[in-house]
Structure 1
Amino acid sequence: MRTPIYHGWRVVFCAFAVAFFGWGLGFYGPGIYMVALQQRHGWPTAFIAAAITLYYVAGAALIAGVGRAFERFGPRRTVAAGAVAMAAGVTALPQLEAPWQLPIAFLAMAAGWAAMGTAAVNGMVAPWFERRRGLAVSLALNGASCGGVVMAPVLVALVADLGVGLALPVASSAMLVLLLPLVAAVLRPRRADEHDGGCGRPPAARAAPDLPWSTRATMRTMAFVTVSLPFALGLMAQVGLLTHQVALLSPALGVVGAGWAVSLTTAAAVAGRVGLGFVVDRLDVRRVSAANFLVQVAGVACLAGGTRPLLIAGCLLFGLGVGNLITFPGLIVQREFPAAHFARVVGLVVAVNQFAFAFGPGLLGLLREWTGGYGAALGLCMALQAAAAAIVLVRPR
């Protein structure tokens, strides 16, 4: 008799699809929207970039409430509402007539980004897995990388072929048509008789006491500080570097070569996340996180070398750690916080991380303008990641 597929793996597939569209439209899309809106309306690039920064900051504030939304309304309603908000914001962008309307559209997108981002993916998958949560979350969050690999070039092609006025509504409508039925059919509460089985060390969170929830008290604990701060520093460096990667690589590799190098970085991110996903549930996640930061330090050091072989090696090493920076925080929270507080704690951690990385691209850009090159910016990235590696090893009592 054939063993039925555990429903949790269907949830993983659904979360993969949510991450695919969430990152495709909400993370990789804004850079494409900025160019298209500047060409369509002639608005200053600095103004559009400021609106995008507002988008990330507003998203950070909203992400902090995702855990409570999941508890009150459930993942199905929360994610569906987020997808509709994302589609509404993206569809509205080419219809805008005045610059003051742009922040409004991005605020709608921010609500969608919050309900389709890292905190939401963890909130969907975590209740279904205990012993194999690391693998499940890693597989689900690969949708984020695939969103960059697939959605970014598709958006560029649609804008080129259809024009931005038609391309963005088509892309957002396709997301709703494909995603909403999947969310409605798959996302449901886990029954008491459903379990993931598998092997590996049980998460420590199951033995933690279910204390009353307090946001302020949680954020003051050493456990929270040593999981939120290092990944905030690491993501500030990571997102800043990824934003400037083409500009950094183009002088040595050319625009086409830089594009291939970016693809190599993304492919390495998928490989790094999947490879660690199969074993991370049996490892000390804090030590693995520190090693991950140090691998990225080595990658940035290679990028600072400037020669073609070092640039390629730098993209590969840096990429191996890219995906894990959004996977590891949830795994640490799982082991060190009460299970009943998982969704809220992850929401707070992701909110802190996003608030930090929203300023990464601008900070690296300012350093480049002040110094006339990327040397100082790369040095800052290495310092941030080295500090993150040290902080994440500080264990709470």
Structure 2
Amino acid sequence: MNEVSNSTNDETARGYHGWKIVVVCFLMALFGWGFGFYGHAVYLAEIQRLRGWPASIIASATTLYYLCGAILVVFTADLVRRLGPKAMVLGGIACMATAAFLITIVDAIWELYAAYLLMAIGWASLGLGSITNILGLWFRTKRGMAISLALNGASCGGIILAPILVLLSARVGFVYAMWIAIAAMLLILVPLVLFWLRAPEIEPPKPGVAPEVVMTKAEALRSFAFWSVAGPFALALVAQVGFIVHQVAYLTPALGRDGVAVSVAITTTMAVIGRVGLGTIIDKLDQRRASAISFTTQGLALAAMTLTNEPLVLYLCCAVFGFSVGNLITFPALIVQREFPAAAFGTVIALVTATTQFIYAFGPGLLGLVRDASGSYAAAVYVCVAFFFAAAVLVLMRPRTV
């Protein structure tokens, strides 16, 4: 599935169809992360306000969501190959839209869990594993750039969708806010998927040319090289995802609902700035060292948040934290592309995505439990800080060769 079409079209050409695929993947990321990642902070705060359910119960549903999504991500490469990208993505959109609607009408905790399980299918179909595998079909030499550009949609999901949900919820109510967002996804994304998204035509290998050796899932899971990527990023994402899910609830007492919307927008705007800015020089950097610096700055930003309730300082901390948010989901693909054989990219990145998601799935629930046990969010934030610092050390432990 990682063989890129050898047609006369050049990846660097403006008319290359792969760049339309990048646009589709950008919008997949925007709505996928908007509903399936950043949206959970809004769901937690609004459902807790409307239903009065404990934060740990709602956050545990989020944990289950990420766990199921992680299992499904393992099979994204197989689904792209068997169903084709168009059918898989359309199915994912249908699941995401239906689940988002169900969240607005839940009356019992089990209904919330059921809606989150359905959303997990949409998340796996629109998320990182699907995007990197779809772009892997179209790009080889420009794969890093294509992935980086497409994943800017993830940060835009936080810049656009999450703050809009917060602001609309304050003005027209959570239910109508969600319905408006669902309609926007269907009207914008579905037509582009129908008309643009497809797999490239693959030319058969030339006679006498040995096929590239593809790393199996078992071989990847047994290698230190794999865990040297998956391990530290899983720890960092436990902290990052956990904080983002609880960000609205944590900062609302200090900032108010409108102020929290600004904080979310700052966080995600800086995520785009960080990814675009670093993307221009990433090939010249030591990507593991850059990852360690990102983890460290995020940990320091969260630690500083616990020391103040001053809005301007909290906004600054959100900006520093957000600068690395986007890069945490971009760096693994770039490290895998550099350190693993090209033919192993799809398999390895799908496994890295699944493994990190399985582990960071416990982040929201863990922070919810710490918060409920301690009576405040300070202890939960310090757990995130510890995870970031540990990840910064582990990511510098390099494999010898792959």
- Band the TM-score falls in, shorter-chain normalisation: 0.7 to 0.9
Distance, in Å, in 1 between the alignment partners of 2:85 and 2:192 is 12
Deviation at 1:12, TM superposition (A): 1.4
Tell me, yes or no, if structure 1 residue 337 matches structure 2 residue 340.
yes
Would the alpha carbon gap of residues 72 and 359 (structure 1) be closer, same or farther in structure 2, given more than 3 Å must change? same
Deviation at 1:178, TM superposition (A): 1.9
Give yes or no for contact 2:158–2:265 (8 Å, CA) kept in 1.
no
> Of 160, 169, 184, which aligns to 1:150?
160
Deviation at 1:168, TM superposition (A): 4.0
More deviation, 23-32/90-99: 90-99
Q: Name 2:93's counterpart in structure 1.
A: 83
Q: Name 2:314's counterpart in structure 1.
A: 311
Q: Name 1:8's counterpart in structure 2.
A: 18
Q: CA offsets per residue over residues 371-396 of structure 1, 9 Å max, x none?
A: 45444434332321122122212221
> Of 222, 244, 256, which aligns to 2:246?
244
Tell me, yes or no, if structure 1 residue 57 matches structure 2 residue 76.
no
Residue identity matched to 1:325: L
Deviation at 1:15, TM superposition (A): 0.7
Q: Percent identity?
A: 47
> Of 213, 216, 219, which aligns to 1:217?
219
Q: Name 2:281's counterpart in structure 1.
A: 279
Would the alpha carbon gap of residues 289 and 73 (structure 1) be closer, same or farther in structure 2, given more than 3 Å must change? same
> Of 244, 265, 268, which aligns to 1:266?
268
More deviation, 339-348/107-116: 339-348
The 3-state SS of whatever aligns with 2:398 is: coil
The 3-state SS of whatever aligns with 1:306 is: coil
Would the alpha carbon gap of residues 310 and 167 (structure 1) be closer, same or farther in structure 2, given more than 3 Å must change? closer
Give yes or no for contact 2:336–2:349 (8 Å, CA) kept in 1.
yes
Q: Name 2:389's counterpart in structure 1.
A: 386
Give yes or no for contact 1:305–1:311 (8 Å, CA) kept in 2.
no
Distance, in Å, in 2 between the alignment partners of 1:286 and 1:188 is 34
TM-score under structure 1 length normalisation = 0.84
Give yes or no for contact 1:134–1:281 (8 Å, CA) kept in 2.
no
Q: Which stretches in structure 2 are left out of the alignment for 5+ residues?
A: 1-12, 204-210
Tell me, yes or no, if structure 1 residue 32 matches structure 2 residue 42.
yes
Q: CA offsets per residue over residues 155-186 of structure 1, 9 Å max, x none?
A: 34555666666654553343223212211222
Would the alpha carbon gap of residues 361 and 107 (structure 1) be closer, same or farther in structure 2, given more than 3 Å must change? closer
Distance, in Å, in 2 between the alignment partners of 1:42 and 1:226 is 41
Would the alpha carbon gap of residues 156 and 386 (structure 1) be closer, same or farther in structure 2, given more than 3 Å must change? closer
Tell me, yes or no, if structure 1 residue 132 matches structure 2 residue 142.
yes
Distance, in Å, in 1 between the alignment partners of 2:301 and 2:354 is 26
Tell me, yes or no, if structure 1 residue 181 matches structure 2 residue 177.
no
Give yes or no for contact 2:166–2:261 (8 Å, CA) kept in 1.
no
Give yes or no for contact 1:68–1:344 (8 Å, CA) kept in 2.
no
Give yes or no for contact 1:302–1:313 (8 Å, CA) kept in 2.
no
Deviation at 1:114, TM superposition (A): 0.4
Residue identity matched to 2:239: A
Q: CA offsets per residue over residues 20-67 of structure 1, 9 Å max, x none?
A: 111122223334345555666676665444333222211111111112
How large is the RMSD of aligned CA atoms in angstroms?
A: 3.0
Residue identity matched to 1:106: Y
Deviation at 1:4, TM superposition (A): 4.4
Would the alpha carbon gap of residues 350 and 38 (structure 1) be closer, same or farther in structure 2, given more than 3 Å must change? same
Q: Which stretches in structure 1 are left out of the alignment for 5+ residues?
A: 194-208
TM-score under structure 2 length normalisation = 0.83
> Of 324, 340, 343, which aligns to 2:327?
324
Give yes or no for contact 1:265–1:318 (8 Å, CA) kept in 2.
yes
Q: Name 1:196's counterpart in structure 2.
A: none
Distance, in Å, in 2 between the alignment partners of 1:80 and 1:254 is 37
Deviation at 1:222, TM superposition (A): 0.7
> Of 366, 380, 387, which aligns to 1:377?
380
Matched length: 381
Would the alpha carbon gap of residues 215 and 314 (structure 1) be closer, same or farther in structure 2, given more than 3 Å must change? same
Give yes or no for contact 1:75–1:123 (8 Å, CA) kept in 2.
no
Would the alpha carbon gap of residues 260 and 329 (structure 1) be closer, same or farther in structure 2, given more than 3 Å must change? same
Distance, in Å, in 2 between the alignment partners of 1:230 and 1:108 is 29
Q: Name 2:290's counterpart in structure 1.
A: 288
Tell me, yes or no, if structure 1 residue 297 matches structure 2 residue 304.
no
Deviation at 1:133, TM superposition (A): 2.9
Distance, in Å, in 2 between the alignment partners of 1:128 and 1:291 is 32
Distance, in Å, in 2 between the alignment partners of 1:97 and 1:253 is 29
Q: CA offsets per residue over residues 250-283 of structure 1, 9 Å max, x none?
A: 5555554444333222221110011011121333
Give yes or no for contact 1:134–1:278 (8 Å, CA) kept in 2.
no
Give yes or no for contact 1:16–1:142 (8 Å, CA) kept in 2.
yes
More deviation, 293-302/73-82: 293-302
Distance, in Å, in 1 between the alignment partners of 2:104 and 2:302 is 37
Q: Which has the higher contact order (CA 8 A, sep 6+)?
A: 2
Deviation at 1:188, TM superposition (A): 2.5
> Of 98, 105, 116, which aligns to 2:115?
105
Distance, in Å, in 1 between the alignment partners of 2:365 and 2:343 is 37
Q: Name 1:69's counterpart in structure 2.
A: 79
> Of 225, 229, 232, which aligns to 1:230?
232
